[in-house]
Chains A and B, each alone.
Chain A
């Protein structure tokens, strides 16, 4: 339980400080922090119970491509589109 509480605390700290930081950071960093929040949320889900392969794949994609925000804006936006597409194509 303590570990689980810590995981939520970490995620909430990340979200709160990202929200505060986004006031002054470059615009795209807001998107960057949000996709990273998805990655972290999937990590938390994984500690609680089995996570569908789909979400693990989504997390891997984020891990692999998120830093494009610092190098290539167009590539980063394509990556965001791909993330949304992955979610649209998921059977729910």
Chain B
């Protein structure tokens, strides 16, 4: 698939088959995240790849997580590194953007290898922190659910180019 095709094919999948995903495929998703840009090249984030009992427990505290995915990729920010290396802007803004860009890379790569994903922010951060035994400075910011799609959602309405762009100096 060419890139634009992958971009257009990606959906927020909320229904997964009860099948495992191989570690090799997950590794490829992590590698794709690593290739995402990061403000000041800081990369204050890390990914906890969770399955099994702990994943089941996280799902209970994540109202926005649907479809019983077999794997959860919990993207966490190390707030200490974000502050020390990126200053206030690094901690309060750039680290969030970095996580979002990394998540998008994961989703696009997943689409390319026929996996389904959904980026989730509706979960209880403190609960997830506790379940995973994370220190206070390691904050889970996004969860990407991963699995083999049961079905692909329909394409939601998208805006036309002219609705979002203002050509300046063209």
On A, residues with C-beta under 8 Å from B are 9-10, 13-14, 17-18, 20-21, 25, 29, 33, 36, 67, 70-71
Q: Is the CB of B156 within 8 A of A20?
A: no
Interface of A, secondary structure class, is: helix
Q: Is the CB of A10 within 8 A of B122?
A: no
Q: Is the CB of A17 within 8 A of B156?
A: no
Q: Is the CB of B156 within 8 A of A71?
A: yes
Q: Which residues of chain A are near B124, meaning CB under 8 Å?
A: 17, 20-21
Please report the C-alpha to C-alpha distance between residue A22 and residue B157 in the assembled complex, in whole angstroms. 26
Min CB distance B16 to A, Å, is 15
Please report the C-alpha to C-alpha distance between residue A33 and residue B156 in the assembled complex, in whole angstroms. 21
- Of residues 3 through 30 on chain B, the ones whose CB sits less than 8 Å from some CB of chain A are 14
Min CB distance A76 to B, Å, is 13
- The tally of CB-CB contacts under 8 A between chains A and B is 29
Q: Top 6 closest A-B pairs, CB basis?
A: A13-B60, A17-B124, A18-B63, A17-B61, A71-B156, A17-B63
Q: Is the CB of A14 within 8 A of B156?
A: no
B60 touches which of A9, A25, A70 (Cβ 8 Å): A9
Q: Is the CB of A33 within 8 A of B60?
A: no
Q: Which residue of A lies closest to B64 (CB)?
A: A21
Q: Which residue of A lies closest to B14 (CB)?
A: A67
Please report the C-alpha to C-alpha distance between residue A13 and residue B123 in the assembled complex, in whole angstroms. 11
Please report the C-alpha to C-alpha distance between residue A36 and residue B156 in the assembled complex, in whole angstroms. 21
Q: Is the CB of B60 within 8 A of A21?
A: no
Q: Which residues of chain B are near A29, meaning CB under 8 Å?
A: 122
Q: Is the CB of A25 within 8 A of B156?
A: no
Q: Is the CB of B63 within 8 A of A10?
A: no
Min CB distance A15 to B, Å, is 9
Q: Which residue of A lies closest to B154 (CB)?
A: A71
Q: Which residue of B lies closest to A29 (CB)?
A: B122
Q: Which residues of chain B are near A21, meaning CB under 8 Å?
A: 63-64, 122-124
